[in-house]
Amino acid sequence: MAAAHLQQRIDAVWRAESPRVIAALMRMVRDLDLAEELAQDALVVALERWPASGLPDNPGAWLMAAAKNRAIDHLRRHQLQQRKHAQIADELEGLHDELHQAREAALDDDIGDDLLRLIFVACHPLLSTQAQVALTLRLLCGLTTDEIARAFLVPEATVAQRIVRAKRTLGEADVPYEVPRRDELPQRLSAVLGVVYLVFNEGYTATAGDDWMRPALCAEALRLGRLLAELAPGEAEAFGLLALMELQASRAAARTAPDGEPVLLQDQDRARWDHGAIERGLAALEYAMRLSRGRGAYTLQAGIAACHASAASVDDTDWTRIVALYDALVGVAPSPVVELNRAVAVSMRSGPEAGLVLVDALVDAPALRAYHLLPAVRGDLLHKLGRHAEARSEFERAAGMTRNERERRLLLARAAAMSG
């Protein structure tokens, strides 16, 4: 295997498996920085050995076993604190069996619980919302600080500081590694739902890299969303989020061509949409609506997704209802991105000129200055109005702003089409 190709494979394995490895280590060592350090140690060992021996049959289990070996060595060497000696001794008795199972190509049976615990740790109320988001994306998605910064339109140094401070705060407070009691869920649930959806979004449209989507992240977010709905059966927004993710994920197979290039919504073969996922999403949405008359942000977005899922084509879509739902969403969770999405819906209902007026009003919004979808949307509306030279300029500007290679090629192709 060529060195470059092997490195790509190792990078992909690390992105997919590092959250599970870190979550399992966190259970063992109860220290987030240490868990990350031990996971990185396992990666270093892999980088040293795999070029010579080749990728193992189950690289995730290999990394898990190597990381746990490191953790056991650390626990034996340092014994953490005197008061934990008895606890460590008890844990070590069972760890050898776990390591054997990992070597036999298995991840821990309670990995789901480990990941959920890790999310609740990262979303502890001691942390600000921004710190919760940054820390969770770093841990669960394996995103770099640069990728997180670009996703949220803030400086990289700001994200790095948030992550460092968040870890320090959790460490100093000795935050327990556990899912909170049911009476503590409401104050934590909103943040947890938010970061699970951000994980889903990163999987649905990757911030950077060579792939348009990262399906493993979508699947992980959906699994966590189902767990959260079970944990909080009376919370409408838990089901609203689950509905939204199911409905969005239903389009996954139609969002890419056989060569991996993106396929826009208006060009998708709707026969390839997953109708089982649509049914699950609509059922979750109906349940969320029954739970609460005051619709939350996820339930409103799920309603928008349901309009798309129920339409036979773009032209048959109920754009009037979508605009109304965006109007409600602006009232519940106002943001320039929501306004931009609303402008697209208005353009579909009332024509590109009406949409362009709304988009132009957002051009100077500070949060959208580095947001590539603003010029992309503007280019699309200019194209529909026959202003092709301006549209080409906007598509080229958007292509220069995106970090996703597939999206960059799509935008450049649209720019080139304006010349014709």
Quick one: pLDDT at residue 103? 37
Task: Quote the tokens at residue 385.
Answer: 């109005």
Q: Is residue 368 part of a domain?
A: yes
Rounded to whole angstroms, what are the CA distances from 109 to 90, 116, 158, 386?
19, 13, 37, 58
Q: Give the CATH number, domain containing residue 417.
A: 1.25.40
- Single out the residue in 74, 109, 144 at which a domain terminates: 109
Q: Domain containing 44: what range?
A: 1-109
Q: What is the largest CA-CA distance in the chain?
A: 75
Q: Is residue 310 part of a domain?
A: no
Quick one: pLDDT at residue 207? 79
At 138-154, the pLDDT tens digits run: 887 667 787 777 767 67
**Total domain count, the chain:** 2
Q: Is residue 20 part of a domain?
A: yes
Q: Is residue 265 part of a domain?
A: no
Q: Is residue 31 part of a domain?
A: yes
Quick one: pLDDT at residue 112? 47
Q: Is residue 104 part of a domain?
A: yes
pLDDT in tens, the chain (420 residues): 567 778 878 887 887 788 888 888 888 888 888 888 999 999 999 888 998 888 888 988 999 999 998 888 888 876 645 445 555 545 555 554 544 444 333 333 333 467 778 888 888 888 988 888 888 888 876 677 877 777 676 788 999 999 999 989 988 888 887 777 777 777 788 888 988 898 898 889 887 778 888 888 898 889 889 988 988 889 999 999 999 999 999 999 999 999 889 999 999 999 999 999 999 999 999 999 999 876 899 999 999 999 999 999 999 999 999 999 999 999 999 999 999 999 999 999 999 999 999 999 999 999 899 899 999 999 999 999 999 999 999 999 999 999 899 999 999 999 999 986
DSSP string, 359-420: HHTTTT-GGGTT-THHHHHHHHHHHHTT-HHHHHHHHHHHHHH-EEHHHHHHHHHHHHHHH-
Nearest Cα residue to 42 out of 62, 20, 27: 62
In degrees and rounded to multiples of 5, residue 262 shows phi and psi of: -65, 145
CA 354, 355, 356, 359 torsion: positive or negative?
A: positive
- Single out the residue in 83, 109, 135 at which a domain terminates: 109
Q: Is residue 242 part of a domain?
A: no
Quick one: pLDDT at residue 148? 79
What whole-number distance in Å separates Cα of residue 375 and Cα of residue 395? 6
- Single out the residue in 85, 109, 133 at which a domain terminates: 109
Quick one: pLDDT at residue 151? 65
Quick one: pLDDT at residue 90? 57
Q: Is residue 124 part of a domain?
A: no
Q: What type of residue is 308? A: H
Pairing of strands 208-209, 403-404: parallel
Count of CB atoms within 10 A of residue 72's CB? 18
Quick one: pLDDT at residue 342? 98
Give 253's strand partners.
Answer: none
